Structures are given as structure tokens and as C-alpha cells.
């Protein structure tokens, strides 16, 4: 993976962690007294259900077709910690970073 690709993935992951996830955390803490109250809002509930469905589908895919040494459970934990806008690029980065490092090591030792 090129340096530019790594930086791009990490930038997208940081944006996903701090912007959409940050908005969610901010409004959950300031406009609602609890997560349960926020989940009762129809628009929020729709986004929450959609995110969980997408996470489940992607986790199933990554379980059937691993993209690297980090398993689908890592993807799910990242998704719960920071949403899909964070977890998808960061999970890809984690898996491909290791692959690129192994390829560089193999090239040097060959």
C-alpha cells in the first residue's frame, strides 16, 4: 500500500470518527438524557437500524471472505466504537498495512 493510500484511508477514518460519530455523541449527550431516549426518535432509530444492518452484513462478508489477518470481530468492534465511516477505512488499512509490511520484508530477505 502506498503512503498516499495509507494517508487517505487514515484521513477518511479520522473524518468518520470525529464528524458523523462526533455529531451523534454530541447530540446524544446534549439533546437527550440517554441513548434510549435518542433511539426513540424516528429518524435516529432509522439510522441506528440501518447502521446495525450494514455492520452485520459486512461482518458476515468479512467472515466468509477475510481481507487480512484481522478478523471480522475487529471490524465489528471498530464499528461499535466509531461507526461505519470510521471502521471501513480503518479496518481495510489495518489489514492491508500488515500485508504491505510482509511483502516489503519478503522482498528484502529474498
Average pLDDT, consecutive stretches of 10 residues, N- to C-terminus, the chain (110 residues)? 94 96 84 77 88 97 97 97 96 85 60
Q: Which pLDDT score, from 0 to 100, does residue 17 have?
A: 95
Return the H-helix or E-strand segment holding 51: helix 42-64
- What's the CA gap between 75 and 49, in Å, rounded? 17
Grid coordinates of 67: 481481507
**Residue found under cell 481481507:** 67
What total number of domains does the chain contain? Answer: 1
Q: Which pLDDT score, from 0 to 100, does residue 108 have?
A: 61
Q: Which pLDDT score, from 0 to 100, does residue 30 have?
A: 85
Backbone angles phi, psi at 59, to 5 degrees: -65, -40
Q: Which pLDDT score, from 0 to 100, does residue 25 have?
A: 83
Give the domain extent around 33. Answer: 3-109
Instruction: Give every CB contact of residue 81 below 8 A, 6+ residues apart in sequence.
Output: 87
Q: The whole model's pTM is what?
A: 0.82
CA 11 to the chain's CA centroid: 12
Q: Which pLDDT score, from 0 to 100, does residue 35 have?
A: 73
Grid coordinates of 38: 435518542
Amino acid at each position: 500500500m502506498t503512503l498516499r493510500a495509507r494517508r487517505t484511508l487514515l484521513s477518511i477514518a479520522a473524518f468518520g470518527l470525529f464528524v458523523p460519530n462526533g455529531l451523534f455523541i454530541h447530540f446524544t449527550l446534549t439533546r437527550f438524557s440517554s441513548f434510549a431516549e435518542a433511539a426513540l426518535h424516528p429518524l435516529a432509530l432509522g439510522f441506528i437500524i440501518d447502521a446495525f444492518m450494514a455492520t452485520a452484513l459486512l461482518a458476515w462478508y468479512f467472515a466468509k471472505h477475510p481481507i487480512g489477518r484481522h478478523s471480522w470481530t475487529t471490524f465489528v468492534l471498530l464499528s461499535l466504537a466509531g461507526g461505519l465511516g470510521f471502521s471501513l477505512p480503518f479496518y481495510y488499512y489495518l489489514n492491508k498495512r500488515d500485508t504491505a509490511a510482509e511483502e516489503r520484508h519478503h522482498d528484502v530477505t529474498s
